[in-house]
């Protein structure tokens, strides 16, 4: 386990370096307007002097090395357009807690609704609850998310008596964004848990438990659910971390001052330094999600040995 963990951490570290290097180089190909708040009012000489002061006229390899050196010391640079001369880390520190709160609430709803739904669908296979759950999953998977997000906002705001602009201190304004962000994960957990539980229900150990006289409910939830949950568990950390950092569409739709809306804003404003900092955060979240997923799967089922050949992803 420790050997595998060391390999995965090293591999994850290398992946992050590659991602950040590629993003850094691509951003250097963007128009230089993204580094100036008053580009149209500057002369070519002033622009050149400013670029030299920011180190943007140095060879690209030198810039990359400087970027990673600053990153090691916790310096993500400063915003040039969104909030001029304000450190990127300071801006993210104001936005991340909002997305974390929204993401945690959404994941709690997803797990507490999606897992029981999938288990009950498998328990009552081909009955009315299974058919209703299947209909819900099909609708969520088939209909574009933007469509039902808009319907939820349109009719939900009327039902709750809330406005379109998000108010962070009013609990009622959190309901619709949390529900919207939960729907896709609810359908995902319900669909795959049902599938895994149905597959497990035909195995020999289940037949043996039933032959010993164990109740159907006991077999379903003490044996089948436990084993069916193991392959699903590896996706939970990734889904959790991705939800925590915010939904770009949801946060923009409800004007939530979190990470998702911030990314859209800085891209529109061509604030290259801010984009670079947010991409760093998203890349770290994605890589850590895969790592934690594998570790969680091993902890839930010690029979799995990811240190052997073919055992890792």
Q: Does domain 95-268 correspond to CATH entry 1.20.1580.10?
A: no
**Could you tell me which residues are beta bridge partners of residue 87?**
78
Q: Say how far apart CA 239 and CA 232 lie, in whole Å.
A: 11
Give the Å distances, CA to CA, from 290 to 159, 174, 209, 272, 293.
Answer: 39, 29, 34, 27, 5
Tokens of 159: 């039902």
User: 171: helix, coil or strand?
Assistant: coil
User: Exposed, middle or buried, 156 (CB in 10 Å: 0-12/13-18/19+)?
Assistant: middle
Give, for all 313 residues of the chain, the pLDDT tens digit: 667 677 777 887 888 888 888 888 887 777 777 677 777 777 888 888 888 887 878 888 888 888 888 888 878 888 878 887 888 888 888 888 888 888 888 888 998 999 999 988 988 888 999 999 999 999 998 988 888 888 898 888 888 888 877 888 888 999 999 999 889 889 988 998 888 888 888 788 777 877 877 777 777 777 788 777 777 777 777 676 666 655 777 888 888 888 777 877 888 777 878 888 888 887 777 777 777 776 776 676 666 555 554 444 4
For 168, residues 6+ apart whose C-beta sits below 8 A from its C-beta are 98, 256, 257
* pTM check: above 0.85: no
Fill in the DSSP letter of residue 87.
B
């Amino acid at each position: 386990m420790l050997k595998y963990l060391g390999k995965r951490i090293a591999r994850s570290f290398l992946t992050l370096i590659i991602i950040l290097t590629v993003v850094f180089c691509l951003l250097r190909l963007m128009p230089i307007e993204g580094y100036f708040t008053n580009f149209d009012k500057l002369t070519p000489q002033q622009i050149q002097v400013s670029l030299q002061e920011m180190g943007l006229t140095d060879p690209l390899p030198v810039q990359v090395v400087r970027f990673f050196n600053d990153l090691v010391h916790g310096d993500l640079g400063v915003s040039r357009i969104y909030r001029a001369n304000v450190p990127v880390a300071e801006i993210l520190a104001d936005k991340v807690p909002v997305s974390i709160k929204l993401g945690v609430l959404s994941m709690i709803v997803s797990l507490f609704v999606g897992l029981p739904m999938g288990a009950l669908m498998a328990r009552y296979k081909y009955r009315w609850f299974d058919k209703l759950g299947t209909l819900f999953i099909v609708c969520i998977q088939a209909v574009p998310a933007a469509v039902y997000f808009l319907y939820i906002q349109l009719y939900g705001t009327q039902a709750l008596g809330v406005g379109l602009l998000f108010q962070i201190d009013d609990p009622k304004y959190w309901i619709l964004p949390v529900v919207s962000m939960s729907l896709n994960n609810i359908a995902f957990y319900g669909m795959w848990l049902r599938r895994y539980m149905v597959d497990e229900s035909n195995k020999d150990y289940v037949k043996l438990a039933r032959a010993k006289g164990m109740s159907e409910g006991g077999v379903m939830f003490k044996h089948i659910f436990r084993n069916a949950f193991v392959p699903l568990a590896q996706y939970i950390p990734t889904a959790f971390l991705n939800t925590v950092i915010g939904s770009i569409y949801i946060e923009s739709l409800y004007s939530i001052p979190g990470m998702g809306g911030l990314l859209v804003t800085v891209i529109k404003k061509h604030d290259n330094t801010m984009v670079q900092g947010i991409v760093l955060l998203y890349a770290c979240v994605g890589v850590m999600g895969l790592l934690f997923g594998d570790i969680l799967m091993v902890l839930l089922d010690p029979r799995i040995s990811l240190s052997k050949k073919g055992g890792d992803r």
